A and B are shown apart, each in its own frame.
Chain A
């Protein structure tokens, strides 16, 4: 019990005192996860729209396949990206292994299925009657598309938040392709893993609490934006 209490006390201390290293790690976690969510959204929202608005053979299978990859293990993505960007790998020339962009690449791959799948669901769930009304009023193809995306924006936003959540909470990719380098690629989750292995359980717990606080703040902000 004392351990849990001490973890809480330590978290409050670290936050109040603006411990520079912890703040830096938290900032880096946030920046990397936000970058992944933004880049992922930039790729996935248009792609999901294309999938949704077009009829083609194997569409249902494709959607099932996307949904299957919701549960891809982070370490598997980490290993996959590592093999590609390692010096000996096909993209080794980029030299991005053990840098923050490498983590972003991995996280984008990780959250792509979630963003795609949930955006497609969001577009599917737009009320048919709205579409029919719009069409009867003479709306053209792209007007219809914009309308659907507009109508579905809350659900699409939920998909983005979900992707962000998966990105900021993953540890497998950050550890494998980031390398957990102090002052460069160390993020909250890898710091938790390191501090645990060093035996600083209280510090590790404090970092976990800070991660949850960040997620809470991001969600509150996103909800505010949605309600406007």
Chain B
């Protein structure tokens, strides 16, 4: 390349940039309004209300059912990001959403105590279960949750059975760790006890599918199990499901506007009060009946066993936010 051409090429480059920028305009306009078509019209005025919800409520289709009702009521466009409890809490801590739906009381308490969230209300519950091959090689059917885990561990280290864990810091994973603790195990020892303990690192559905393929034991929430069983005809079946530790309570928490000033606290409060309203409680109590022959979740007021939240916890509406 000659010296002469080198000197002048920046001009050519600049011309090309200008030319390309013109071509870019329709793309920029285009990508700001791709949602204006189809069956999800944007609300006017456009207010986007973002929540992060645990996967089990999403995968069962409950949010598809509830979303349009709240959008109509509050005149907002609801953006639902689904994530395990661990990530949902992280989105909340970072202020990327306005409210979160999670199911892990211990971490919820820390989240609120740290000033990230407020106005927690429990609005529904169901149960976890341990499923496994129908012939139950470890013989856990009818045992308690902690006894089952002990037995699975003993059979597992001998190479007789496998257990698939979510391994993703979700609410379900947290509950599993709690049961290991109750059974007297140190969780790290379980993790390192051999190939029998499989950490999937996936959502509930794929973890169930993995356990199904491997004919392994797995812990799941009953709603995802039923929903997946209907679609995929799983060959593993529930073996242990009667234990108060299996209680799985869902909570809604608003993001604290003092920590994240952009958080839409008023809509979040309206949303939480709506979740504990009679209207939504009735939907929660009947959702899934047609497809599964039983409801997937229970209204929170019917919770009356140890571990259930106190009544005033969900009957008291959230107060309006004042600075």
Which residues of A approach B to under 8 Å, CB–CB? 20-21, 23-24, 27-28, 31-32, 34-35, 38-39, 41-43, 45-47, 49-50, 53-55, 86-89, 92, 95, 97-98, 100-101, 104, 135, 140-142, 144-146, 149, 179-184, 194, 196-201
- Please, what's the 1-or-0 string for B192-205, where 1 marks a CB less than 8 Å from any CB in chain A? 00000000001111
User: In the complex, which residues 12-71 of chain B have their Cβ closer than 8 Å to any Cβ of chain A?
Assistant: 12-17, 20-21, 23-24, 27-28, 30-32, 34-35, 37-40, 50, 55, 59, 64, 67
Is B94 a contact partner of A199 (Cβ separation < 8 A)?
no
Is A180 a contact partner of B81 (Cβ separation < 8 A)?
yes
Is B205 a contact partner of A54 (Cβ separation < 8 A)?
no
Main secondary structure of the interface of B (DSSP, over half): helix
Please, which residue of chain A has its CB at the minimum distance from the CB of B10? A50
Is B31 a contact partner of A184 (Cβ separation < 8 A)?
no
Provide a sorted-by-A list of 24 A–B residue pairs whose CB atoms are within 8 angstroms: A31-B34, A39-B28, A53-B1, A53-B6, A54-B9, A86-B94, A86-B95, A87-B96, A88-B93, A89-B94, A97-B96, A98-B79, A100-B32, A101-B32, A135-B2, A141-B4, A141-B8, A145-B9, A146-B12, A182-B64, A183-B40, A197-B55, A197-B204, A198-B59
Please judge, given known A-B contacts A38-B24, A45-B20, A181-B80, whether A31 and B9 are in contact too, CB under 8 Å.
no
- Cα of A50 to Cα of B31 in the assembled complex, Å: 28
Which residues of B approach A to under 8 Å, CB–CB? 1-2, 4-17, 20-21, 23-24, 27-28, 30-32, 34-35, 37-40, 50, 55, 59, 64, 67, 77, 79-82, 93-96, 202-206, 209, 227-228, 231-232, 260, 262
Q: How far is the CB of B14 from chain A (nearest CB, A)?
A: 8
Is A50 a contact partner of B9 (Cβ separation < 8 A)?
yes
Q: How far is the CB of B83 from chain A (nearest CB, A)?
A: 9
Please, which residue of chain A has its CB at the minimum distance from the CB of B64? A182
- Cα of A41 to Cα of B23 in the assembled complex, Å: 10
Is A181 a contact partner of B13 (Cβ separation < 8 A)?
no
Please judge, given known A-B contacts A28-B34, A41-B20, whether A34 and B27 are in contact too, CB under 8 Å.
yes
Please, which residue of chain A has its CB at the minimum distance from the CB of B29? A35
Is B232 a contact partner of A183 (Cβ separation < 8 A)?
no
Q: Considering the complex of A and B, which 10 residue pairs feature the smallest CB-CB distances, nearest first?
A: A141-B8, A183-B40, A42-B20, A141-B5, A87-B95, A24-B38, A199-B231, A145-B12, A179-B81, A142-B12
- Cα of A149 to Cα of B20 in the assembled complex, Å: 14
Is A39 a contact partner of B38 (Cβ separation < 8 A)?
no
Of A24, A97, A198, which is in contact with the most chain B CB atoms at under 10 Å from its CB?
A198
Is B37 a contact partner of A24 (Cβ separation < 8 A)?
yes
- Cα of A201 to Cα of B27 in the assembled complex, Å: 33
Q: How far is the CB of A45 from chain B (nearest CB, A)?
A: 6
